[in-house]
Amino acid sequence: MTPSDITSGALTGDGNWFEDFAVGQRMRHFRSATVDEVENNYISKQVMNTAQGHWNEEALRGSHLGNGRLVFGLITGSMTVGLASQDTAENALAELGLDNVRFKKPVHHGDTITAYTEVLAIDESPDRDDAGIVRFKHWGRNQHGDVVCELERLVLIKRRRAWTLDGPTR
Amino acid sequence: MGDEIDFDAFPIARKGNQFQDFTPGNVFVHHWGRTVTDGDNALFSTAMCNWNPMHLNAEYARAHGHDDVVVNPMFVLCAVVGLSVEDLSEVGGPFLGMEDVTFHRPVHPGDTITASSTVVEARESDSRPHIGIVTWHTEAHNQRGELIVDYQRTNFVAKRREPKPAAAS
């Protein structure tokens, strides 16, 4: 496989180039994931989050946040982004940023996150004409249907016409 | 066998800051720093269901102009927050949210991150007298001094109810 094959989509899906997104488009992502020992207990320590309520089963016992290990909010956020990533960033060049990140309810070990997305805006890139910027809103919901986190995310996504072999120029 | 040891009498080696420690303009240079490895990125990205080839296929990343895989920016963000937790939020209270998170440039395996934060605002909570709400602006740089990510973060932070204990020696 040549570098040109790789960049023109041989390894990635075909429904998620910049031209494929429309404002108002909504997606419920296909796979959900349960947060447990690896996702929260270990990764909280991997990223040096020293707050022991994330990895000490006794630390928050009896607290208003609920018993057991509390999932680090950004792990819930990262899982929500991860579950949405194939549909929203498989043909991305870069993650540009996040905004309005909110953690709405506590998440505990054993909870399962499902990700939902709406396209909020579509813009030209100020720097390059082979890609554009999509602003997504993501929601993470638990198995009871409660929204546990929400965030907006800006992604720089390749244009099909600039990168694929059937596009006019490269 | 010998005298009983009174473990409860051992002084605790406390960590963290509380509401009274945050005055707008105060700067905290966070501890430790972190060199990001290939393993960090691969473990984090796979555990978070983020199988994007820009993070997990080095040939794909090279074909897009990088020298190696691009470290998942959510890992970078988590690690920067992690480095700041002891100073800002370890004994405080729940993480409420973040604004204006900007990923300024990619991080690659082998890069080293350091972080610092400035207090932007510290205000009382109308409904909860023992808690305040603090906002910080955090910046993280790589080993070349280049800004890699910055953001504002807001937490509930508990107020100290007794005088600050002497630091553990």
Quick: pLDDT tens for A3-17: 889 999 999 999 999
Query: Range with the lowest mean pLDDT among A3-17, A82-96, A107-121, B60-74?
Result: A3-17
| Residue A170 confidence (pLDDT) above 50 | no
Which chain B residues touch A86 with a CB distance below 8 Å?
51-52
Domain ranges of chain B: 22-158
Take residue A56 and report the two structure tokens written for it: 């000490």
Burial A111-138 (b: 16+ CB within 10 A, else e): bebbbbbebeebeebeeeebbbbbbbbb
Please give the average per-residue pLDDT across B28-40, as a whole number.
98
**Residue range B81-108, pLDDT digits in tens:** 999 999 999 987 788 899 999 999 999 9
With beta carbons under 8 A apart, name residues in chain A contacting B101: 97-99, 101
Amino acid identity of residue A111, one-letter, is D
Domains contained in chain A, CATH given? 22-161 (3.10.129.10)
Helix (H) or strand (E) holding B84: helix B73-88
Listing DSSP states for A52-115 in one string gives GGGT-TTTTTTSTT-SSPBPPHHHHHHHHHHHHHHHHHTTEEEEEEEEEEEE-S--BTT-EEEE
Q: Which residues pair with A126 in a beta bridge?
A: none
Task: Give the mean pLDDT of chain A.
Answer: 95
Query: CATH assignment of B22-158?
Result: 3.10.129.10
Global confidence as pTM: 0.94
Q: Give the number of C-alpha atoms closer than 13 A to the C-alpha of residue A43, restricted to the C-beta side.
A: 32
Nearest Cα to B52, choosing from A44, A75, A91, A153?
A91
The ipTM estimated for the assembled molecules is 0.95
CA distance B1 to chain A (A): 30
Contacts of B153 (CB under 8 A, 6+ apart): B81, B84, B88, B95, B97, B98, B135, B136, B138
Question: Å from A169 to nearest chain B CA?
Answer: 17
Q: Of B29-33, B63-67, B154-158, which gets the smallest average pLDDT?
A: B154-158
Distance from B2 to chain A by nearest Cα, in Å? 30
Of chain B, the percentage scoring pLDDT greater than 70 comes to 94
Nearest-Cα distance to chain B for A24, in Å, is 22
pLDDT at B169: 43
CA angle (A44 as vertex; A149, B66 as ends), nearest 5 = 85
Give the pLDDT of residue B115.
98
Which residues in chain A have their CB less than 8 angstroms from residue B97's CB?
100-103
The answer to whether the CB atoms of A74 and B95 lie below 8 A apart is: yes
Q: Which residues contact A52 (CB under 8 A, 6 or more apart)?
A: A59
Distances (CA, A) of B25 to A115, B21, B121: 37, 12, 8
Residue of chain A minimizing CA distance to B36: A47
Dihedral, A125, A131, A137, A138 alpha carbons, nearest 10? -140
Which of B12, B70, B98, B113 best tests the A interface by mutation, with the highest count of A CBs <10 A? Answer: B98
